[in-house]
Structure 1
Amino acid sequence: MDTVIGETVLGADEIQAGLSEVAQQLNADFEEAVVITVVPGGILVTADLVRQLTFDVSMDWISCPHTPGEYNNASPIVYHQNVPIDGRHVIVIDDAIESGGTMKRLVAHLATFNPASISVATLFVKPGRVDTPVRQYFAREMDSDDMLVGFGLPWQDRLRNLPFVAKLAVPDLTIRSPHGVEEYPRLVQIWRSAVDATHDFLADEHRDEIEAVLASNYFPQVQLHVAERQGKAVGFAGVGGGNLEMLFVDAAERGHGIGTGLLDFVVAEHGVRTVDVNEQNGQAADFYRRRGFVVVSRDELDDEGRPYPILHLALPGA
């Protein structure tokens, strides 16, 4: 089990100190509330947090199974409203907000029961999370979207019980050239997985148009590099003329440092200084901004004249 547990990010003492901070914030703002735990991930945070609350608390639970880091979770929401929330203040407790996609769905679902307010309380949040338009209470904002385990956060349904939070130590990542055109179908699969997870703004017909010609028209125009982990292709990047033309990671492998590994490789090996990103793909734009890229210009349409604005980003001095 220990082979996947990497560097400790939050020790047991730091976790308790952080939850005390969150409890102090909540105690200052509430006189009563219904605490709804997101299970199973929020169980440990709830247990340690509610015992520090000084106001009247009712307790319930909600669930929506998902893969950690998943942005477009479509799993059914399980919520029985064992405690009525109509006209009452609700505090949703989870271990963390990672992508934020699931929490956003849970908040929207609970809003249909007409509570007086909805707030979210977690130990920490990640920088790449989507916006959830409610008050959020948390102890720490992480510096990256790296996959984390422990204190409610799982890896393959294990490690939730760790008393600390640690980085996931994944096997070494290999970046190589593609195994010829015979590997293109797998790269198209990766592209589709990534697009389905992040490009909800893309019309189905436009997605299908691009997918149909990806291998024949797009791949031959760039120098491809494939990220491989445990003998399986999990991401790829395409470079042309010093510009990063494409970078996609299998949705199931997000948060493992694969995107960062590919970006670092093409910057170091090809001198990549620029990249173009769909403006509606805020997750990607934030990914590059956190790695030093800045927006230098914008086009209203994409290269094919479709209504998807493009941000042109560059490293300083490019």
Structure 2
Amino acid sequence: MIRKFKTDDLEQVMELWLATNISAHDFIPAKYWQDNYALVKEMLPQAEIWVYEAGNELLGFIGLQADHIAGIFVASKAQGKGIGSKLLAKAKQEREQLSLAVYAKNERALKFYRRADFAVVNEQLDEATSQVEYQMEWKAR
């Protein structure tokens, strides 16, 4: 079930945020994500968040800031089961266009977004991580 984020979800969402970032970005030291944890925890409730819940377990979430996807996060045990696609479909229902940034080395995410009709519109260096990232966009037809 996809539903709006509730304040009670914050701890589970942050655990998922940290674990997924460390796992998906093995080319960035885990310390980077750990050092940013408190800041993200403070800012996250200000974004529009949709969570995917099965039973009482939160298995994924998507964060939106206006038309920008801040991230899609799915628990490792639930990846490959369509949860990310369902969260993205929810965002597409709510918006006429979407943008996001994805690290060039995150090949799995790049393939996911390309399959979802996102196109690379720019390439830049993320100064915080010294990693190349792509700006991607999607527009409703």
In the superposition, the TM-score normalised over structure 1's length comes to 0.42
**Equivalents in 2 of 1:178, 1:316: separation in Å?**
25
**Equivalents in 2 of 1:209, 1:264: separation in Å?**
31
Aligned to 1:310: 133
Higher Rg of the two aligned structures: 1
Measured against aligned partners, the alpha-carbon deviations of 1:61-118 in whole angstroms (never above 9, x if no partner) come to xxxxxxxxxxxxxxxxxxxxxxxxxxxxxxxxxxxxxxxxxxxxxxxxxxxxxxxxxx
Q: Relative contact order (C-alpha < 8 Å, sep 6+): which is higher?
A: 2
| Corresponding residue SS for 1:186 | helix
Please say if 1:232 is aligned against 2:57. Answer: yes
Q: Is the 8 A contact 1:249 1:258 kept in 2?
A: yes
Of 72, 75, 79 in structure 2, the residue corresponding to residue 254 of structure 1 is 79
Using the TM superposition, give the Cα deviation of residue 179 of structure 1 relative to its aligned residue in structure 2, in angstroms. Answer: 2.0
**Equivalents in 1 of 2:30, 2:74: separation in Å?**
20
**Equivalents in 1 of 2:50, 2:22: separation in Å?**
21
Q: Which amino acid aligns with 2:31?
A: E
Of 30, 34, 59 in structure 2, the residue corresponding to residue 204 of structure 1 is 30
Alignment of 1:159-308 (within 5 A): 174-180=1-7, 182-217=8-43, 219-302=44-127, 305-308=128-131
**Equivalents in 2 of 1:287, 1:193: separation in Å?**
19
Distance 1:185 1:286, change over 3 A: same
Using the TM superposition, give the Cα deviation of residue 271 of structure 1 relative to its aligned residue in structure 2, in angstroms. Answer: 3.2
Measured against aligned partners, the alpha-carbon deviations of 1:236-276 in whole angstroms (never above 9, x if no partner) come to 11111211111100111101100000000001123342121
Q: Is the 8 A contact 2:28 2:129 kept in 1?
A: no
Q: Tell me how large the CA RMSD over aligned residues is.
A: 1.8
Q: Which amino acid aligns with 1:286?
A: K
Where structure 2 has 5 or more consecutive residues not aligned to the other structure, the ranges are none
More helix by share: 2
**Equivalents in 2 of 1:179, 1:300: separation in Å?**
34
Where structure 1 has 5 or more consecutive residues not aligned to the other structure, the ranges are 1-173
In the superposition, the TM-score normalised over structure 2's length comes to 0.90
More strand by share: 2
Q: Which amino acid aligns with 2:4?
A: S
Matched residues, number: 141
